[in-house]
Amino acid sequence: MRDTKRVSAGRKVARAAATGGGRTYRSQRPMGWYATLVGIVIVGTLTVVYSRYELQHASSKAAASQAPPTASDHWYAAIGFDLCGNMASNLPQNTNLAKVGIATIGNGVIQIAPGSAPKPAAFEGANATLGKFASSYPQLLLTATSLRLPGGRLYQNGDACGNKHGVLQVRTWKQFTLSNSAGKVFSGDPRSIKLVNGQLITVAFVPPGTTIPKPPALDITDLIKTITSAQSAGSTPSSLPSGTSTSLPPGVPAPPGGIHPSTGGLPSGLPSGTGGAGGLPSGTSGLPSGTGGLPSGTGGAHSLGAPVGGASLSKAPLAAGRLAKASSTGAR
């Protein structure tokens, strides 16, 4: 019996030793702890990867934000809308000028001035696009396949255009001095077209293969006058290519009674007997008595800095144009 009891007791001791004295040890760390640890490792890894990406691309982002046009730039472009072969009237001036940095001033000219907007960055650099202009103009719709002017009908690819089907196309000229044949029809979404100072743009809904013309000649004339005036006043940097002339391109008439942008002189087309290059005849009605033509000291019809009626042509070409127009009317 004693031997049996000893064997039984020995077994109990061995069993207790194997089980830790009768207590079963379990892990004190729940499964959620491991999940949290894994999450921390993943988040840390992603943070390191993102930080490295930002560091490597910081210079490219900075360069993009500094790309022209910047908040200090004032650029101008001319735009026209050709609807089935008929050039539409110019868009009126934006009603939200104080809120946008790309707008039309009502004469077929787009003004690209990011600094005019409360948030210039939205219109600077790569954001200065035709699409940004369209989205900034109330009720103007422009997509990759459709066009609708404010208050007009919707033109969509495939719609009837005369006895053919029309498609939306946009032709651009990087500078107003380029010939008509130098224009380029844009392929792709026209909203991505980058705006350029001195650019010509014609948005057209016409049958494929149709020759798309430049914007109206008077719009191009206004564009040239606007750029010339802005550069003379120092309100815009000289962003035109070196050697670009601000004279009227072939086929564009000088504004009646206005100032010719390339010379500042009076335009051609005045009545015969004007008494010289751009001058008015002595004693012409509409000028002060005894002027004998233009006021003394003007330095000739092509002098930019000479005062005409008290206005400096170099600073106020548009005002001088109105004076010249009034004089021309009086002469007739």
Per residue in 13-67, pLDDT tens? 556 555 555 455 555 556 676 777 777 888 778 777 676 766 665 544 544 457 8
Among the listed residues 167, 165, 169, the one whose alpha carbon sits nearest the alpha carbon of residue 203: 169
The mean of the pLDDT values for the chain is 72
Residue 260 dihedral angles phi and psi, to the nearest 5°: -70, 120
Whether 157 contacts 166, CB under 8 Å:
yes
Domain residue ranges in the chain: 75-221, 254-287+300-332
Measured CA to CA, the distance from residue 4 to residue 291 in angstroms comes to 148
Distance CA 94, CA 244 (A): 29
Q: Of 297, 315, 317, which is closest to residue 257 (Cα–Cα)?
A: 317
Distance of CA 48 to the CA centre of its chain: 37
Express each pLDDT in 219-244 by its tens digit. Answer: 999 999 999 998 887 655 444 544 44
Average pLDDT over residues 247-258: 46
Q: What is the pLDDT of residues 256-286, one digit of tens each?
A: 433 333 333 333 333 343 333 333 334 444 4
Q: What is the pTM of this model?
A: 0.56
**pLDDT of amino acid 78:** 97
Q: How far apart are CA 268 and CA 265, in angstroms?
A: 9
Residue (of 190, 225, 242) closest to 108 by Cα position: 225
Identify the pLDDT of residue 28: 58
Q: Which two tokens stand for residue 111?
A: 């003004």
How far, in Å, CA of 219 to CA of 308, rounded?
A: 25
Average pLDDT over residues 97-124: 96
Reply yes or no on whether the pLDDT at 163 is more than 70.
Answer: yes
pLDDT for residue 305 is more than 60: no
CB 248 within 8 Å of CB 261 = yes
Instruction: State the Cα–Cα distance between residues 91 and 139, nearest whole angstrom.
Output: 11
